[in-house]
Structure 1
Amino acid sequence: MLYQVPKIQKRFLSIMVLLAIVLNTKATPRDSLAPTPPMGFMTWNKYEENINEQLIRQIADKMATDGYAAAGYKYIFIDDAWQGGRDKRNNIIPDPKKFPSGMKALADYVHSRGLLLGIYSDAAQLTCAGYTGSYDFEEQDAKTFAEWGIDYLKYDYCHAPSDSAVAHKRYKEMGDALQNSGRKMALGICEWGQLNPEKWARQAGGSLWRISYDVRDMWKDIVKQGGMGILDIINIAEPLYTYAGPGHWLDMDMLIVGLDGKGGPSSDLGGIGCSYTEYQTQMSMWCMFASPLAMSHDILNENEATRRILLNKEIIAINQDALGNVARRINYPGTCRIYLRKLSGNRQALAIMNPSDKPQRLQFPLSIIGKEAQYTLKDVWENTTTRPQKTWKGTLQPHETKVFIVKAP
């Protein structure tokens, strides 16, 4: 038997949800830094600590000339292991062997290719990989990043106290430092969602915040060692949709599309690789939830199946829709899940996901979309258009997600 919530409790819960939404929609000075979810390439999953300025230039060239920049992937995010310590004046410096020309020269080159450059630090004395962090040097490092021409900072939380108030304080110190640096730089809060960042990250200056531990190259966690698969992160994102919107996004971590079990850290904790049906589902649901899109595959040696997923213009358009709405799950019985996301132009995005290991036949009334008598459904992956009468019928393969752009007559 289902538990029925008393009417008084229902009213109280509704008021609390509304209050949370109102508080979270209060504008911040930094909301304009990422009006749509940032898109780009992040170095960690593929290259880990094996990064250098030549590699970053090659990636920039690839993105600029091979369709990625044109599709909206504007950032190159340099993750951990770029640091070379501090100089005599305590200015943070890049590793001179990896980046002999310096970060400013590298940023200038990336900008010349029509791209933006992100960098990494940590809210402690050491980063996750044991390199120099920014704790107690927030203002100095922010000014250094500004002088280099950095556009984005991924700010991690390794070796820091596991207390929500302390995390809020440390991130706000860096958020304020970036705001006062003289350059517009977005702040990506990487606290892994364990200290309820949805309640404070935006006010701390974050343009986006991680909601889970690191993604692994797998459909779901089956080894129970703390890894996060595609389905695990979708489950975490589902109830958080009220907290995201233009300028403040739920970060579901990197895209593992195309890694094929050959990544670095993403291959840990059960990350043996995914099927391309599963990779397509990751792209679909990351776009439905308006997550930042950070590629992490071997972009210099990729296959066409990977490009087909990552460069699909219509799924990217859902992710980048100006309305900034986030998908919510529709309560409907059965194994498959149904999600709706409002889009600009009086349209909707409809996603149907089969999380199970068996094919599923599904039929549901179009009335769950709205009151119109008929809708036009554009399948963004199959590039087909249908006008079903009253119901949608179809079969989904294991772990498959179908996505439609829905228009009323």
Structure 2
Amino acid sequence: MSVAPVPAPVVARLARLSPAPDGLTLLRSALHTRRLLLLKALLVRVHRHRASVEPGALGRFERSWDLLERVERRHPSVVRDVLDYPTTGAWLAGALAEPAGPAFDRLLGHLDTLAVTAALRAGGTLDVTVETPDGLLPLPGVGRLSVDAERVRVSAGERTVRFHPDGAHHAAPAVLKLTGGRDGVLTGRGPGWRAVRPLHGSVARLDDLDPYRVPSGAGGTVVVAADPADTDHAAWAATWRAAQELLARTDPGRAAEVSRGVRAVVPVLPRGPRHLGATLSAAPGAVLTSLPDHGEGMVETVVHELHHSKLATLHELMPLYGPGRDAVHQVGWRPDLRPIAGVLHGAYAHMALTDLWWRAITTDGVPAAWRHCAGQQFDDIHDQVGAALLILLESDELTVEGREFVHQMRLHHASLGAAPLAAG
């Protein structure tokens, strides 16, 4: 994608794991540019192959596109926030990869929910009828309405929204209120309504409702979304709060980065007895995770997965490695052989963990049990990252920018290895 040159000092700070705000600002700008390009690509595909799109689906798509454009002219920040929400990226990736046919037409219908979400968050009047083929109307980042109907009329005044399912003559409609001023915060109540819940001290939402929170075949691994009925919201909220407090005590800069950079925490099923954490390259800012046993586990998962997201976004902005080849490499943290992209991603995310553990070891006021555990984990993972960095620097698959990025990573890795460890 065509963007302005990337400032080398900012990239160097990202490689050295700096949580400075300029890095996150750069990545957010890159993410938004990428979303606009993908959305435009979807529009171009629909227009070029409109004869293959079912007429009703085509009409709804064009109506939703017009609504999104009208809202964007009045409230660009609200539309940007909706488009940049992690699950929007997962939906776009799925839609662009889907061949023409009924499944593609069905995917196009999600633009309805994006446009309606933006319009409702922006305030003002609205009166539209949207399709709910599964009996569900998701509003990304806001919540989900369950109805026994194939269509729902959405009527909104300046600050109040009502949903009227087709054929529902007796039940009171679900109602949303616009409460956040320019932030466009919607709160709701009524039959069938479930809200996506905010997580303390951050922009993150505990999103167990969005239909694209865990796309099929996510990341090439078996990642299964947890059933919303099984989500213990109180347990998740308590674990998140404990993690935020622990991270703020250990590394205030990283805590601030997490509070701004993680948009969604998605509950998934654990893999056997093991805790599971994952990210989607198409959905930066989302952390897919099973519920850790304690705050320390949540801290480690969020820091690790956030750095996967950061690297994925940076690579889209400034390619760090070339197209995939057959070469694969052994790394210390996985039993299977990894391509160069996997080596780089793993090295970056695991170096973020060593940085976190180094601070847990050397910072006063950190719980003794975590300090001890961090000391035990630091040595092994630090050595494994060092070996991976050598693989990367010896590879011819990195771009010039990628080699410089890894060089900066190696400098930070060396600085961590020089630190005195006191894990007792």
Task: Tell me if TM exceeds 0.5.
Answer: no
Q: Give the number of the structure whose residues are more often helix, by fraction.
A: 2
Query: Normalized against structure 2, the TM-score is what?
Result: 0.27
Query: Normalized against structure 1, the TM-score is what?
Result: 0.28
Q: Give the number of the structure whose residues are more often strand, by fraction.
A: 1
Larger-gyration structure (1/2): 2
